[in-house]
Structures are given as C-alpha cells and as structure tokens.
Amino acid sequence: MAADSEPESEVFEITDFTTASEWERFISKVEEVLNDWKLIGNSLGKPLEKGIFTSGTWEEKSDEISFADFKFSVTHHYLVQESTDKEGKDEVLEDVIPQSMQDLLCMNNDFPPRAHCLVRWYGLREFVVIAPAANNDAVLSESKCNLLLSSVSIALGNTGCQVPLFVQIHHKWRRMYVGECQGPGVRTDFEMVHLRKVPNQYTHLSGLLDIFKSKIGCPLTPLPPVNIAIRFTYVLQDWQQYFWPQQPPDIDALVGGEVGGLEFGKLPFGACEDPISELHLATTWPHLTEGIIVDNDVYSDLDPMQAPHWSVRVRKADNPQCLLGDFVTEFFKICRRKESTDEILGRSTFEEEGREIADITHALSKLTEPAPVPIHKLSVSNMVHTAKKKIRKHRGVEESPLNNDVLNTILLFLFPDAASEKPLDGTSSTDNSNPPLESEEYNLYNQFKSAPSDSLTYKLALCLCMINFYHGGLKGVAHLWQEFVLEMRFRWENNFLIPGLASGPPDLRCCLLHQKLQMLNCCIERKKARDEGRKTSPSDNVTNTYSGDAGKSGDQLGPDNLREADKDKGEVGKSWDSWSDSEEEFFECLSDTEELKGNGQESGKKGGPKEMASLKPEGRLHQHGKLTLLHNGEPLYIPVTQEPAPMTEDLLEEQSEVLAKLGTSAEGAHLRARMQSACLLSDMESFKAANPGCFLEDFVRWYSPRDYIEEEVVDEKGNMVLKGELSARMKIPSNMWVEAWETAKPIPARRQRRLFDDTREAEKVLHYLAVQKPADLARHLLPCVIHAAVLKVKEEESLENISSVKKIIKQIISHSSKVLHFPNPEDKKLEEIIHQITNVEAIIARARSLKAKFGTEKCEQEEEKEDLERFVSCLLEQPEVLVVGAGRGHAGRIIHKLFVNAQRAATMTPAEEELKRMGPPEEKRQNLAADFPPPAGRELILRTAVPRPAPYSRALPQRMYSVLTKEDFRLAGAFSSDTSFF
C-alpha cells in the first residue's frame, strides 16, 4: 500500500502552470459579484426628474473580495426607481448607449445638496465602487492602479455589464476615483485630478474650457457648442447687528422668588450661543453657452445679483450649549454619585449630639416600647432641631451650601402655607391636583410615572434641579433635602398637612417618592383627626369611603360584585375617624387583652352597656334604603367602618412577596385568606354592632348584593313571594366569609383595633426619606424632571409651530413612557431621552435664530411674512432651499442686506459711504461686486456631445466637473469614445 501511495503524492507535487493567477481569480470574483447582483445587460430607466437625487431613496449593497491577501469591498449604489417593462424592447435597445452615458448630459440634477460625491461629480443614478476594505489601506502606486483598472475593464467586457465601475485609489480622505463604463461599441473613461493649489489659469471659465477642449480633442471645426452650468457659493459667518436673542441667566440675581433670573418651578430654555454658525448662499447659472458669457482673469460677467437661481443652506453649530439640556444632564449626573447626605455635608457636625442622633434612628423602637409615653411628648423634633442648630453653629453661615435667602425662598415656594402665621388646615392639601383623565397632562404624568405638575414632588424636583445647577451643586442638593426632611418631621409632629398633594390614598401611577409623601399626609390626617376630634364634612366622607371600599371588598369579591357593593356603600359611606356619634378619642389597643379592657372602659365612660353581648346598636351611619333585617324586620343600618390601610407600591410588593411565600398548601392558602380578610372582619364587626340580631345573609345583602339570590316562588297560600338565599360560593362549608362571621364580635369601628397604624407608618416614611442619598433622590425625581422638560419643550414649540419638532416630541413621549414606567431604567436609555430633549431645544433655538436674522416679526405685509416664515421653516428641515425670485425676491433682498452689512464691517466702510452707491448705473454695478465676499466655492459643469476619436465616430457625451475652494481643486472628467469606428 505504501508503494502505491508514493506515485500519488508525487503527482500532487507537480506544479501546474496552467492554473489561474491571483489576478485572474480577482477578475473572476468581480464578475461573480456583478452576476449575483444582476447588473448584466442594458436596463434603461425613465429620464431623471428634477431634484430626484435629493428627494429619492438611495440604497446600497456590499460584498467583499480579495486580490491575493489584500481585501476590497465592492459596493453597489443605486437610486430606487420603478422597474420598467422590458418586453419587446430588446431589439430597439441594441444600439442605444448605456443609461449612465445618457445621464452625463442630464441637466435636471446639477449640484444636488445631499448625495454621494460621484453622483455630484458625474450625475450618475447607479454605479459600483471597489475600494480597499480597511480604512487605513490605500492603493498608492501607479502600477497597482493600472492593474485594478485593467481588471475592471476585463470584467465589464466579459459580463456585458453597463453600470459604471469605479476603483478608489490613494488615501480615502482624497476621494480619488478612476473608472470605466462599457456599452455596445462605446466606452466612457472616468478620470480625476486633485490638487491642493490651483494654477492661476484654471481659476476661471476660459481656462477650464481650454482644458476641456484639449481633452476631448474633437477633430470637427467649428466645435459643437459647449453647455455650461456654474454655481458660486458665498459664506456668511459674521451676522453683525443680528445678535443672538438668548439672554444668559444672571446667576447672582435673587429677587422676589427668582434665582438665576428664573422663577422657581420654571425651567430655563434656549441655546447659550448662536446655534446657526454660517449661511451659505449658492448662486447658480444653470444653462449657459460658451459665447454668451465672459469669465476670465481680467473681467467676469458672473454677478451674483444677476444669477437666475439662488439657493440657501445653513450650517448648524455642532452641539450648541443648551440651558434645558444642561439642567437635565447635570441633574442626571447626581444619579451616579455614591455619597450619602451625611458624607456630603460632613459627619463632624453630628459628633457632639451622637447619642441624641442615635435616639432618632431608633425612633421606631422607642414608639413600640410598652412604657405609656404619649406620642406628642417624644421630643424627636426637639432633638432634630438641636442637631440643626449644631450644624449651623459648626458650619457657619459662609460655609453653608445654600445661603439663607435662597433657602427661605425655596421653602416658601415649596410650602406656601408657611407664609401665614398658622399653616392652613385641610385646604393646604390640593384636592384637585389630578387633571381630567382625557387631558394630555394627565397622560404625561401617568405615562412617565412622575407626579402632577402642580404637586409638591414636581416642584421639589425643579428646585433641586435649579439648586444643583446654580447654587452649591451636590452639596446644595443635600442641604435642601435635609431641610425638606426636617420640615416633613415638623409637620408630622405638629399635625400640619403637607401642601401640594392630592388627598386620599397614595396614587400608584406616580413615582414612589410622591406616594411616600401622600402616605405621610394620610398619617397626618388620621393623627390630626384623632388628636383634635375633628369632624370631616359629609362630602369628604363619601369620597373617602368610596375609594376605600373598593379595596375593602376587593379581596373577596369579583369585579362585577365590587361595582354593586361600592355603588351601595359609596352613596352613604363614612370614614371611621370622622364618626360623629361622640367626641371620644379613637381607641387604640396593642393586644387583645387591652382591647377587651378598653372596650369596657369606653362603654362605662359614656354610660353605654357594660357587656359586649349587649344588643344595643352602636356605630350606625344611617338607614340603608327600605331594606330590613330578614329575621326580626328591623331596618338595616349602614355601619361606620374603618378605611383599609393605604399602601405604597413598595409595601404592596412586600405584601405580595409575603403572601407568595406562604406556598400553595391548604394551610398556606387558609393563612393567606385570613391575612387578606382583616378588612372584611372589621366591617362584619361594625355591621353586627350597628344591627343587633343580624345574620350573615343581612351582611351579604349590603356588602355583596350579587351573592344574595332572590327568586319568586309560590307560597302555601298560592301567592307569589320573593325568597332569597346565599349564592353557591357562600354555602361552601368553612368558607372564609362564614368563618369570619362566626369570629366577628359586635364592636363598633371606633373601638376596633386599627387597620392602619398611622404612627408606625409615618415613622417608616420619615426614616425612608432620611436615609435617601442624593443619588437615590435624583433617581426618584428624574421622571418629574424629564416630565417638566417635555412640557417646557412643548410650550416653546407651540410658539414656533415646527411640524418636525412635533413628531420628535411624540417620539420622546413614547420612548420615555416605555423607559420610565419600569423601575430602575438603564442609564444609557435615560441619556438617550435627555439627548433627544436637547436636540429639540437646539432645533427651536435655530428657528428663533433664523427668525431674528430674517426679521419675520418686522414684516408689515401679511403675505411677505407668511412667505418668510415658510422659508425659515424649510431652512430648518431641508438641506437646501430655493430662494423665490433669487436676488430680487423678498428673502433675496434680506440675504443681500446681510452680506452687505458683513462686508461693510469687514472693510470698515461707514454707513455714509452707501449714499455714493446711488450714482449712475455703471458705478452702482462696480460697487455691487463688493456686496459679496469672494466665492468660497466655484463649481462648473461643462458638457457636450462630439464624435470621438475620429470625425466619423458616433457623437457621444463628454462631461467635465470642476470645483475650486480655498484649499482644494478638483477636476472630474467623463470622456466617451467610439470603440467600433475609430
């Protein structure tokens, strides 16, 4: 076997000189790509419409090939067009020159404002580019350039492809291309010259015409006329008297509630610098012939004021500094800080009061000690205010991050009720802060999970934002937050409601911080009612009980049952803390023993029954319509009930976790049901106390009418009577309702154990607020800041009415609602939202800048004003805008004046010199040249169709494009020749 394998191995070692070389493989790969993209044969499209290169859709396809180990990318660029029907046209198309050659002479799309450079230079609708794949690779030597060009030529010839094929040579920044296009008997060579300095003889039309004529070398005399298109671009950078209208804020100002020249609660807006850096005026002569015009090194007929076409584009400043964007960005940066409030303000301030501060942190344990210490004598606020004094003593006025004037102004803005000697009562709480459901404002705070725009939380977010930007940065934020927490503690201990919060339970549609403040307000309300024995008005009671009852029966009822129960109860409900039968305090008990003891004491005090078994009704609100008790015919009374405990979303989550951990066993399910039925048991006890001798059926008829089914039946005497019974689910043995009913004792709401321990919950909220770091605080309030920024942007946009901005704002709202509605959004997504808001601010600032420059407000004629506003709006949204009437139109005259002012300033010409221009037309004409600076860019396109290379060859398109700028000179030529008759 070994002997047999030897000859085989020798055969494989033979070098076969007939195999393809790397060059041939490269050509084959190019052909393969062209075939894959179906670029073979002639496909004539429709003639190009005017402006299609800018308004149309451009697409590209890419592939990668290699020449030995050098990689090239092949890219097909093409304008998307409707396909034309090719059937029955094959014979006709045989002698037609390729589409690309025809496009060389098309004059509808000269100087497109936004297009690939080869489209601008050659007017092509479709082409393929072969370029080095890596950015730092380049084809530099002439021999390699020629080798690539030969490869292209062979590939085009072999495949019959009529799409131009370009090869990028030299460094990529030079944008140097050579290429070729082949058709039946015709070929076009694309050549290019790129110089840094331009020879003097080629700075004007006559010199360029000489190059063009010598290059085409036409044997005919006289030469067919050359068609010329010219564009001169003038740049205006010095706006002179058209100052930027944005006034920078005065940071030191502090007058009547204003800081930094801005009112508290109002975000700043606008760019600090002019967001429009340059105006480019392009003056175009689209159809000229050689004989009509003179342009040489001595004299030129090309006067910009006489140009038939004017078009304008504006160059926007890169990332202009915008006030609103900076405000939000700086606030967002706080989210990344890790220091606590103590670390920022300095721990040393607390050293002397260390023991008392420790007592504050253990406030909860102190409250739950069995010692009979009245709550109001705990003196927690005294300790806090002592610490506050120590802080001020240690820090000194000059060291305080916020000076007293600023701090007092902010606190007065946040707590307007503090201005009066005695804080307002219930009126300090905003009852109607929630706008109607259908309003856009409601949707915003609901979508962003922020807070209503007139709420304390929202105002706090704006104040912290302003403090962070203008007054003390992070230290100022920590200082204000510390003062805010102290204010919350003061209000809790002194029964002052927190202003700017909707009454009722926490609104779960808002941010967690807002919910916590609402929870604290609920606690203050309950404590206040208990401490003062305050009676609430019936209208408040109806609202409170209605909102509470939904949660009350929600644990045990279906949604449809709930609706009926709420309907019945909502009409007549009343909250437990406003029970109006007596002035006695609400009885709170800490254990069952104390509860029984307390009940006896309370009953004795008021001369009521001394035993709980007594059937004397207690805690009645009023009669329930015409309903009577089933067994003794007494009227059925609605009892005064306890409201269920308000919950914030973190407490709900905590509760749901506890319930979930009970598992799915029967014991776990039973325990879960008992935990959820605390509210049901309380209501049953109140009902029993109000209706002595009642049964479960009576309770169900009031609490869940759908669970009591009435049917018409015929009794013994033959009469139709109504007979009722409990629903099937109520008859299930040992169900929770029956168990709760049997357990329930007839105890009125005022003597029951509290469902909601406001003291404990308030201390939990205050502790939660105290331990928040500035970073946590910024995270909580960022939705409010973004909400405020979006409202500010909408308000400013409504003054300008920019359609594109309206769309972007909708996108921002949609994006923000997705990001902010979930906890802990990613920093990257938040940065995107802030970036979008900054972009919108910059667009509005640009609109205002342009309106100021073009003086839209100064127009006396309504029609001219509308035209100018439309023109300014187009400048913002389109890459280039045509000036109607060129230099003679209204906008043209304003642009001319802008250039004149800039030129006068540049040459230091006084305004009196202008009077001299009113002389004879010849003198005026000479002065006009000085109205504009030398053109920043000169572009020319020369076209003709001549037979080449011989007089009897076909007349084919010839084109040369030239661009001359201060540091750049480029010639791009496309010269066609006849390959059949030469």
- Residue closest to 737 by CA, chosen among 686, 691, 697, 710: 697
Contact indicator for 26, 148 with CB cutoff of 8 Å: no
Cα angle for residues 713, 715, 718 (degrees, 5° grid): 100
**Residue 675: what pLDDT?**
67
**Cα separation, 959 vs 945, whole angstroms:** 9
For the chain, give the percent of residues with pLDDT over 70: 74
CA 24/CA 21 separation, integer angstroms = 5
Q: Is 99 left (phi over 0), alpha (psi -120 to 50) or beta?
A: alpha
What is the DSSP secondary-structure string of 358-422? HHHHTHHHHHTSSS---GGGS-HHHHHHHHHHHHHHHH-TTTSSS-HHHHHHHHHHH-GGGGSSS
Q: What is the pLDDT of residue 200?
A: 85
578 versus 222: the higher-pLDDT residue is: 222
Q: Are 686 and 639 in contact (CB under 8 A)?
A: yes
Q: Hey, how many other C-beta atoms are within 10 angstroms of the C-beta on 982?
A: 11
Neighbouring residues of 919: CB distance < 8 A, sequence distance ≥ 6: none
Position 117 scores a pLDDT of 93
pLDDT in tens, 957-976: 999 999 999 889 999 999 99
- Say if CB 406 and CB 463 are below 8 A apart: no
Residues 308 and 302: their CA atoms lie apart, in Å, by 11
Provide mean pLDDT across the span 540-564: 36
Q: What is the mean pLDDT of residues 786-801?
A: 88
User: Which is it for strands 126-132 and 165-169: parallel, antiparallel or unpaired?
Assistant: parallel
Q: Are strands 309-316 and 620-628 parallel, antiparallel or unpaired?
A: unpaired
For residues 569-598, average pLDDT:
37
> Mean pLDDT, to the nearest integer, of 125-153?
91
- pLDDT reported for residue 247: 53
Evaluate if residue 329 carries a pLDDT over 50.
Answer: yes
> Residue 97: which residues within 8 A CB-CB, separation 6 or more?
183, 186, 956, 957, 976
What pLDDT was estimated at residue 162? 92
Q: Which 3 state secondary structure label does DSSP give 442?
A: helix
CA distances from 53 to 116, 178, 390, 529 (A): 10, 22, 73, 75
Beta strands 227-236 and 186-195, pairing class: unpaired
| From 16-25, 147-156, 307-316, the region with the lowest mean pLDDT | 16-25
Q: What is the pLDDT of residue 977?
A: 92
Q: Which residue has the higher pLDDT, 580 or 679?
A: 679
Residue 393 predicted with pLDDT over 50: no
User: Is the predicted pLDDT of residue 10 greater than 90, yes or no?
Assistant: no
CA dihedral 837, 843, 848, 851 (to 10 degrees): -160
Residue 3, pLDDT > 70, answer no
Q: What is the C-alpha separation between 761 and 654, in angstroms, rounded?
A: 14
Mean pLDDT, the chain, whole residue set: 76
pLDDT, one tens digit per residue, over 658-676 is 777 776 776 766 676 666 6
pLDDT, tens digit (0-9, with 9 covering 90-100), for 712-749: 777 777 676 777 778 877 877 777 788 888 888 888 87
pLDDT tens digits for 401-450? Answer: 777 888 888 888 888 887 765 444 444 444 444 444 345 555 677 888 88
Evaluate whether 905 touches 240 at the Cβ level (below 8 Å): yes
In whole angstroms, give the CA distance from residue 969 to residue 202: 9
pTM for the structure as a whole: 0.70
Instruction: Output the CA angle 859-861-866, nearest 5 degrees.
Output: 75
- Taking CA atoms, 208 is separated from 111, 191, 213, 939, in Å, by 18, 15, 9, 11
Angle at 849 between CA 845 and CA 850, to 5 degrees: 120
Q: Residues 487, 492, 493, 495: what is their CA dihedral angle, to the nearest 10 degrees?
A: 110
pLDDT in the model for residue 963: 94
Higher-pLDDT residue of 615, 430: 615
pLDDT class for 272, splitting at 50, 70, 90? confident
Per-residue pLDDT for 572 more than 80?
Answer: no
pLDDT at 189 over 70: yes
pLDDT of residue 372: 43
- Whole-number pLDDT of residue 27: 92
**Cβ atoms of 495 and 467 closer than 8 Å:** no
Question: What integer pLDDT is reported at residue 599 of this predicted model?
Answer: 40
